[in-house]
Structure 1
Amino acid sequence: MAAVLLTILCFTGCGNLSYDMAYHVDYDVSSFNVVSRQDTRTAAPFAANLCVTAGNVAEEDSPDMSLTGAAALFGLDEKKVIYARNVHERLQPASLTKVMTALVALENGQLNQTLTATNAVNITESGAVLCGLKSGDTMTLDQALRILLVYSSNDVAMMIAENIGGSVEHFVEMMNEKAYSLGATNTNFMNPHGLTDSEHYTTAYDLYLIFKEAIKYDTFNEIIHMSSYQTVFYDKDGKEKPFDKQTTNLFLRGNYQPPANVTVIGGKTGTTNAAGNCLILLSRDENGSPYISVILRAEGGEALYSGMQELLGEIHK
């Protein structure tokens, strides 16, 4: 009623009140234009092209994902959440962090630019995957991204961050700014590699948003599909340092098979004691339609990959 009275006042006036600017249907800010004129530019809703869910999504015969902290399956063409469990719970992502590291690097760097390692690459955490970088070592960003995503090298993540961001701290700020711009507001990165930090967290849903943005880059898609990578980089004296490693993704290595109607294109793995076993994948069905699936904090490698097999089995079930 208040809105109706205000509208009447604006159009007819009241008592001695008068208005210098009359209403006209041709004004760009006119609500008439928004609802009535087809040629008027209007803002698209933020989530117009996103899969959206506020909570869990499952059918009676959906897989039991109780051995995971969170799990989700998104159909990108239909913008459909096929399965969701705890997708907004903040969890540590381990090396799934490196999807954002790669995304920020691709947006802000050049593949042929040379990166130089500093003492920032000296990571001492027990069990951390390293490619053996030393201060003064050099490689291109293209090489670094392949080592980052195929082998999940943590020292390379630090080198990328320092060279692209000017400092590791500024690069992490860039990561968080990018996350927020994508709507990943339950995410807070503290480093570019995903090694344990209590304030370093994200959600399965936020990882979907980040991964969906990353796969817009052909280079990213190419790299996550690689089963191995061989290259040569150089030390501070120009001597060759060979690199030859298999992917950490056991679907690409053939240890696990997806359902018959699904092809795993690639993805990113992650494992720490705090984060458990994590995996995010891009897959396609027999018609070529894309899907993003993610599992966080699985209780071991078998639970991770068997759980992902079951999750992918929900495609066109």
Structure 2
Amino acid sequence: MRPEVYLLILGDHLPDPRTGLAVSEAERLRAMVEQAIVAEEAGFTGVAIGEHHFTRYIVSAPELVLAAIAARTSTLRLSTGVTLLAHRDPVLVAEELATLDVLSGGRAELIVARGVSQETDAAFGIGQGQLRARFDEHLRLLLLLLEKPDVTWNGRFRGPLAAVTTTPRPVQTPRPTVWIGSGSAASADLAVELGLPLMLPSTLRDPVAHLPVVSRYRERIRSADARVALPSHVFVAQSTAEAHTRWRPYLASYASFADEWRGDGTRLDIDKLLAGAAVCGDPEQVAGRLNQLATLLGLDAHLVIVDIGGLAQPDVLAVIRLFGTEVIPRLSAP
């Protein structure tokens, strides 16, 4: 069985490194909707839209972007990538997810994570040392609200609930899929405890670094929903030489921008990225590399990140189409 393939859009708003020019925020957001439409036409399983605040990642409300995509697609799975659950009221998240699920005819998903920005934590009133506890509590409440009516609940970080039923109720039963997004052992253990699939981080680290966490998760999980997915930054062209030449300045621009969130403390090296975390080449080479990653980590799904570093919209759409026609048919299960 072929792994599922999602288009992951994080929404960096960077200038084209060749010209120094950037499109407007409005153009950038509309471009994401168009990319998702083309991804459905190209045979992608779904689209995932990231949530960030106060940075040059400009999507702060991914559910709204997904709602726009839902209105113009019919088969595409619609996921956040990720929802910063510690920063959000789980009651509102449950209502938003269920609304998207109803409007899309049962296509909504959620990837939840803690986040990595202390500035964002502070802006949302999360005290030092509270992030993990808030995430844990909010996730347990979210799952309860999605699965059951008449929820009565008391917790540490929000007011109590007395026989609360969120509306609308989701179409999918017992609820839409909720992934935990993280590369830490603690989050993998939480995914095991709650029986949730695991989404690895998109930090341009060498995927080999995720092996211990994936092994820990696979050894302990007993849920029927045990799955692992990996985001990969991808560029495909008709030849490997063309792919490297065209993509290199955009990958370098994006990697420099995102370097503070990579988390490994190593010096940025584009050649090493192209040999490891970034996947670049002709269709056969890209498919081969993704198949290697699927085998290495036992992947059930790939999240493909194409739109980075100010890459022009026509080029992004061309890569999505080529990936759909020439790479997806070559992908295989681990």
Compute the TM-score of the two structures, normalised by the length of structure 2.
0.26
Structure number with larger C-alpha Rg: 1
Compute the TM-score of the two structures, normalised by the length of structure 1.
0.27
Query: Per residue, is there more helix in 1 or in 2?
Result: 2
